Homo-oligomer: A and B are copies of this chain.
Amino acid sequence: MSERTLAGTLGLDNVDQPVLLKGWVQKRRDLGGLIFIDLRDKSGLVQVVFNPDHSQAALETAEAVRTEYVLEIKGTVVERAADTVNPVMETGKIEVMATELTVLNKAKTPPFLIQEETDVAEDLRLKYRYIDLRRNTLQETFKMRHKTTQAIRDFLNDDGFLEMETPILTKSTPEGARDYLVPSRVHEGEFYALPQSPQLFKQLIMMSGFEKYYQIARCFRDEDLRADRQPEFTQVDIETSFMTSDEIMDMTENMMKHVVKEVKDIDIALPLPRMPYDEAMARFGSDKPDTRFGMELIHVSDVLANSSFKVFKGALDEGGKVCLLNVKGQASNYSRKEIDKLTEFVKVYGAKGLAWLKIEDDEVKGPIAKFLTDEEKDGLVKKAEAGNGDLLLFGADKTDIVYDSLGALRLKLGKELDLIDESKFNFLWITDWPLLEYDEDFERYFAAHHPFTMPVEADMSKLDTEPENVHANAYDLVLNGYELGGGSLRIHRKETQDKMFKVLGFSDEAAEDQFGFLLEALQYGTPPHGGIALGLDRLVMLLAGRSNLRDTILFPKTASASDLLTDAPNTVSDEQLNELSIHINHKE
């Protein structure tokens, strides 16, 4: 017996077979002169029994053994007596009678128990990540991550894509998020930047004639982190030549269908639904709507066009909107105090307040009821399809604020009221994006996606005259209310790219300085091309049914971009800094 046996694979078929186990002590119990150890390896658990009748030496060694010791055990599989079968353990019908035991390594008592349900502070679990990762849930999540990337690669390889690697040490191009910089030792005073995405390189790959490229690519953004952001993240990066946006979307949804089938054994119906950006905003108050439940925004500006209630009148007079959410049957569950909490919630999104009504005893009630005419009340009830017991929550403000606040409120209530079917995988394409967004602070347009996005052909002439009305040939893929990723056709003609930079406020010099190589490359036979990039970490998070992105990244960083395990970032030696000709300039 020199071949290792995996603990979790043992069962009644193996009874009387000799085994060689290697793994960790999950648990040790002493009982009636015997020692029982649950041994864990990557495949699962098995119970090992140390019995003086089988081996006194092994029993004695086992006495010193503690949790997380690493052991090598020789023994024989035996069937358990009926009354000792463990029905919750996969291998619970058998156990291993140990004949030999070697301690491969000792272990101190871990700083926390390795168990599924844990309330240990995340910082401690991150510092001891290698212990936390021994938990079954995390083991399974990273198996799923492996399976997901494998399914993606299989699909793309079969479809004729080439996997290619683009540089990590690249050029800083400040348009976009903040770059991580890398000082050059050879070129004093110069810096590389870590890529925010391989965008320009994948376009250059198309210009190189490769036609179908993908990469599971590491990307970097030096931004203040939120729960669903990490300084480095992984995206499935895809680019093709000569394909239309419809063809790229078709390919992508076939890929997602393959992935969900392989990983979850769930069949996704194709084609995936598509929704224009304007419709998504109007119906869900979001450009990444969670369509697993209803409670859509109801537009009631027309009903209230002549309202004398100053909140509604003010919003409409200023060109804004009034919308409402009908929270079906919840009137009695939301007291004034509860509604006050919702008011605080929407204020974060810029709303000044939260008007509300309840339908009770066939009457429209609430503090604002007295400002409404009977006709207005009837109109609202009809439009909202409201009945007794319903709670109506209003947004009345500039359109952006109404959408943002009610969109967020809808999601909050959907979760609170358990309206979301967690078993669903609702994919959705958002299309017909605006090409540009005007920024009041900077007094200029910014690219809604990025400056290389192709305008819709029909809108091309508006680029000079009314840029705010130009649509992009772009598409985002949404899953269960999360943006999985997005893509577009790219500009493949120099004239269009020149014009785009002009609209974005670049001087000729600035465009040349930052993107001269692209502008030059566009002139040497650039094919029409486009692609998509999908967030792998987020995809795995959703497939695994997790809500924390850090659970899908092997060694994640904290909100302050620290690695608590290795203690990165850290200080470096003066010699290292001198070689790079840089100096720390401590702020006051």
Q: A interface vs B, CB < 8 Å?
A: 4, 22, 24-25, 40-42, 68-70, 104-108, 110, 128-131, 133-134, 139, 142-143, 145-146, 149-150, 153, 157, 162-172, 174, 178-194, 200-201, 204-205, 207-212, 218, 220, 222, 231-232, 234, 241-242, 492-493, 516-517, 521, 523-528, 553-555, 557, 560-563, 565-573, 576, 578-587
Contacts and interface: CB of A to CB of B under 8 A. Distances in A.
Given A130-B205, A172-B570, A517-B567, 18 more contacts: A22-B527, A41-B211, A69-B525, A105-B525, A128-B524, A130-B208, A146-B163, A153-B153, A165-B234, A168-B220, A171-B563, A171-B567, A172-B576, A178-B579, A179-B572, A188-B587, A191-B572, A583-B583
A191 B287 CA distance: 37
7 contacts: A68-B525, A104-B528, A106-B525, A129-B208, A133-B208, A201-B554, A583-B584
B191 A40 contact: no
A558 to B, nearest CB: 10
A294 to B, nearest CB: 38
Contacts of A130: 204-205, 207-208, 521, 524
Closest 7 CB pairs of A and B: A107-B525, A133-B208, A68-B525, A171-B568, A190-B569, A184-B569, A130-B207
A576 B179 contact: yes
B581 A584 contact: yes
A210 B524 contact: no
Contacts of A167: 232, 555, 557, 563, 568
Most buried by B among A104, A492, A566: A566
A133 B204 CA distance: 10
A239 to B, nearest CB: 13
Contacts of A187: 560-562, 569
A523 B582 CA distance: 38
A146 B168 contact: no
A212 B105 CA distance: 18
A472 B8 CA distance: 34
Contact of A523 (B108, B189, B516): B108
Q: How many copies does the complex hold?
A: 2
Contact of A171 (B142, B168, B528, B570): B570
A582 B579 contact: no
Nearest to A131: B524
Contacts of A527: 22, 24, 70, 104-105
A4 B186 CA distance: 47
Contacts of A554: 164-166, 201, 205
Contacts of A143: 162
Nearest to A559: B186
A444 B232 CA distance: 38
A197 to B, nearest CB: 14
A128 B234 CA distance: 28
Contact of A189 (B189, B232, B571): B571
A580 B164 CA distance: 32
Contacts of A555: 166-167, 201, 204
A153 B163 CA distance: 12
B525 A168 contact: no
A472 B293 CA distance: 62
A42 B205 CA distance: 12
A215 to B, nearest CB: 10
A201 to B, nearest CB: 6
A142 B215 CA distance: 13
Contact of A134 (B68, B190, B209, B232): B209
Contact of A142 (B189, B210, B493): B210
A182 B185 contact: no
Given A181-B572, A576-B174, A582-B582, A168 B232 contact: yes
A585 B172 CA distance: 20
